[in-house]
């Protein structure tokens, strides 16, 4: 595919449930109770466990590489966390091309929960490993 500025990435929708959160905790060696222990979450005033924020960066990275195709390699990614995502919520990753240079595509992406913005990011993707 030949990309142009303004082109949109394919949306990625995913409901993040307890199994996903436990799997991510194990895969990152990060077992903080905030991300899997309902009782702990309630004890600190939350309804439910909170999805590890950096998992959102992983989902956005995955969307970027999958969209841009073979050889895509993320060089930079700046992500800002705007609001927490809770266990059981469905995220929608959206993104678009904002700049193109030789062997390089810049992306802007967001993680949305319904109309709520959970995270925004800007990435630089190259095609030269």
Partner 1 sequence: MPSLDPQNEFRLLTAELLTAVGREATYEAPEELGRAAIRYFALAIGDTSPRYTDPRAAKAEGFDDVVAPPTLVCETNQYMTGAPDGDGYIGHGWNLEVPGTRLIRAGNEYEFFRPVYPMDRLSVHWRLEEMTEKISKTGTAMLFVISVATYRNQDGDVLARNRETVIYQELES
Binding region for partner 1 (CB under 8 A): 14, 20, 23-24, 26-34, 37, 40, 53-55, 57-59, 61-62, 65-66, 70-71, 73-81, 129
Residues 6+ apart with CB under 8 A from 96: 6, 7, 8, 9, 107, 108, 109
C-beta closer to partner 1: residue 4 or 78: 78
Residue 113 C-beta: closest distance to partner 1, Å: 16
Query: Are the beta carbons of 106 and 75 closer than 8 angstroms?
Result: no
Place of tokens 């700049």: 99
Place of tokens 């500025």: 5
C-beta closer to partner 1: residue 6 or 16: 16
C-beta closer to partner 1: residue 20 or 108: 20
């Amino acid at each position: 595919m030949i990309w142009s500025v303004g082109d949109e990435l394919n949306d990625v929708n995913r409901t993040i449930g307890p199994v996903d959160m436990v799997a991510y905790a194990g895969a990152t060696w990060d077992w903080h109770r905030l991300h899997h222990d309902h009782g702990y979450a309630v004890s600190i005033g939350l309804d439910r466990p909170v999805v590890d924020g950096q998992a959102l960066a992983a989902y956005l990275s995955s969307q970027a590489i999958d969209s841009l195709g073979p050889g895509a390699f993320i060089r930079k990614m700046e992500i800002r966390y705007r609001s927490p995502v809770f266990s059981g919520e469905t995220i929608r990753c959206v993104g678009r091309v904002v700049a193109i240079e030789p062997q390089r595509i810049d992306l802007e992406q967001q993680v949305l929960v319904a109309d709520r913005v959970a995270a925004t990011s800007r990435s630089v993707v190259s095609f030269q490993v």
